[in-house]
Each structure stands twice: as C-alpha cells, then as structure tokens.
Amino acid sequence: MFGQGASSTVESQVTDIAILGAGAVGQLICHQLHSAGFAVGLIARETSASTSEATDWQDLVFCPLPSTDADTDSVSYRVPTFNLDSTSLQQIRLLIVCVKAYQVIGAISPLLDKLSPQCHILLLHNGMGPHLALAPKLQGRGLSLGTTSQGVLRQSRWQVKQTGQGLTQFGHFTGPALSQALRDGLLNAIPNSEWVEAIIPSLWQKLAVNAAINPLTALHQCPNGALAQAQFTQTIASILDELVEVAAHDGIALDRQMLEERVYRVIELTAANFSSMHQDVAHHRPTEIEQISGYICDRASAHGLSAATNAQMCQAIKQLSAITPQT
C-alpha cells in the first residue's frame, strides 16, 4: 500500500541520516539520499488518526523508507511509521532539519538530549535566525546551514513532484565540521549542490530573493511573475537597498546589482509559481515573515538602522494573517 502505513515499532533501525520534517523539501531530500544508497529515515509529527492533522512536536515518529516507487516525474513512498526509540536516534550521524523556519527550535528541542553527541545538524529552510537560537543549545555538536532552490510540490501527503533543479548550497557554521564522507555523500545525492566556504553570504542572497518576492506575492495574491510589473519596481528596490545596507553592517558585502538581477531571474523562471508565503497565507498557515523580512528588521535595529520597507512588509503580512485565521 502506498501512503501512510500502519504504526508499528522496531527494535532498532540503522540510519546514517535522518530528515526532520516531512514537507515537500524533506521528502524530496529523503528520496534523493535514499536513491544514492544512504540508510535514511524521515522524522515527522504523528498525525492524529481521527483528524489527519499533525500533532505537536513532542509526538514525533520515525518513518524509514523501505522502498520507493518512482515514475518519471513523481515519487511515492511506502511509509510505515515507527516509534522513535533512543537506539535509532543514537545511530543518526546527520540530522537534516527541513521544517519551516519558525518550527526549527520547537521541532529539534525534544530530540537534542536523545541524539548522539557526535550527530551533526544541518538546517535547511527559508529565512534566517534559527541558527542563532540553536547554536547555544548544541551541546558540542556541529552545525551546518544550507539553502535550496530545488522546486518541489507536494501532491498528496506522501507524494512529491520535483518541479525545478535549482542550486542547493551547504556550508559549515559552528562546532565540529561534518565528516568529509557525509559531505561528499550529500553533494553526490543532491543534484546541482555545492559546499561553500562561507555559507552566511549565500543565505543572505537567498534571503534577498525571499524578502523581495514572498511578502509582495502574498499581499497582492499574485504569482511570482506578476512582480515584473513596473508598479513593484520601487518596492523591490527599497527592500534590496535596506537588506544590502544591513548585511554590510553585519560584515557581509553583497553585490546590489547582482542581487537585483538574481531576484528578477527568479521572478522570470518561476513566473507561474505561487511563492511559499502566498500559499501559506492562502491556506491560513503561519508564515515565515519573521525569519525573512523580520530578520532584516531585527538586524537593522541591532545596528541602529531603519529598514522601513521590510518593516512595512512584516506588518502587512502579520495583519493579513490576523484576518485570515490560522489552522
């Protein structure tokens, strides 16, 4: 049977890599690692049998992938769920956290005391900020960060479709470095991926894309391509001006012209897509505004700067979310 299998328990499960978060990106990365031969498992929230809604981050279950069924452009998983036991958690050498930015701390906290002290953690989400909150809680573990522009759509609970092969970048942030073998394995498994010496500038560049596109598409309820219209030029320019200035005060030199070109390239390449924030607002889900525009505002105020346009985006999205009740 494909789809959600019945819950059962296992004595132990040998797992090199676990993915925390079974959203579209988590499932895609899981599939890519599994296809490359890794013993990989997916850690997800238990879904309530009565409502199919995800429960809270205390009720995590382990979903190893015994087999995949790939047709040409979509992937289904046979997913029995296993109770998370301490033996399986101790065997994980790399935990890739693929939950939404605002979920990172809540999702990883119940696991931190149970993971091996050698387990390396890799955060992969839109926006910035959770790495700063997580760093002091690592208990000596290494932390890497990443950003991905792979396009992926969730078609049903356990079915995802890859819609684009955008760049994925990883890099070290703090603590012991990820082993060379796991680094090589990751790069080999994930198409169009690279390990960069300085990951923070790459995260700022991706932040610029999300800060320019996500709030505007959510506020104007439009696909990404609509932002090529002249009415948005000035707002996008201000968002980028502020971001470049704040990043410079954080010690990160960004090429303003190159950023703008990148934003408009993404707008063109993803013209028909609806941004993740547009989708979150449309489905009454929490958004990543605090970790996107909000992060720029936080860093601005840390340096005594103003980031008026990003603050305006933040405010407007929060107002929009307040009038569209979240589920």
| Smallest distance from ligand KPL to CB 227, Å | 10
Residue 89 or 266 having the CB closest to ligand KPL: 266
DSSP code string of 244-264: HHHHHHTT----HHHHHHHHH
Minimum distance between the CB of residue 327 and ligand KPL, rounded to whole angstroms?
20
Q: How far is the CB of 176 from ligand KPL (least distance, A)?
A: 30
Strands 94-97 and 17-20: parallel
Choice between 205 and 270, CB closer to ligand KPL: 270
248/316 with CB nearer ligand KPL: 316
Q: Give 119 or 213: the residue with its C-beta nearer to ligand KPL.
A: 213
Residue owning tokens 């958004």: 287
Which CB sits closer to ligand KPL, 17 or 313?
Answer: 313
Q: Which is nearer to ligand KPL, 42 or 216 (CB)?
A: 216
As a whole number of angstroms, the distance between CA 39 and CA 62 comes to 13
- Listing DSSP states for 87-148 in one string gives HHHHH-SEEEE-S-GGGHHHHHHHHHTTS-TT-EEEEE-SSS-HHHHHGGGSTT--EEEEEE
Give the footprint of ligand KPL on this chain (CB under 6 A).
126, 209-210, 213-214, 224, 266, 270, 273, 275-276
Structure tokens at 108: 């990883």
DSSP assignment letter at 240: H
Is 137 annotated in the active site?
A: no
CA distance 106 to 25: 19
In angstroms, the Cα distances linking 35 to 31, 94, 152, 162, 185 are: 6, 17, 17, 14, 11
Kindly name the residue from 114, 161, 206, 318 that is annotated as catalytic. 206
Helix axes 256-269, 199-219, angle to 10 degrees: 50
Q: Residue 232 carries which DSSP code? A: G
Least separation in angstroms between CB 76 and ligand KPL: 24
Beta carbon of residue 214, minimum distance to ligand KPL (angstroms, whole number):
5
Centroid of chain to Cα 208? 15
Among 166, 123, 124, 153, smallest CA distance to 262 is for 166
Min dist CB 49 to ligand KPL, Å, is 31
Alpha-helical (H) ranges within the chain are: 24-35, 86-91, 104-112, 130-134, 180-189, 199-219, 233-249, 256-269, 276-282, 293-302, 308-323
Catalytic residues: 206
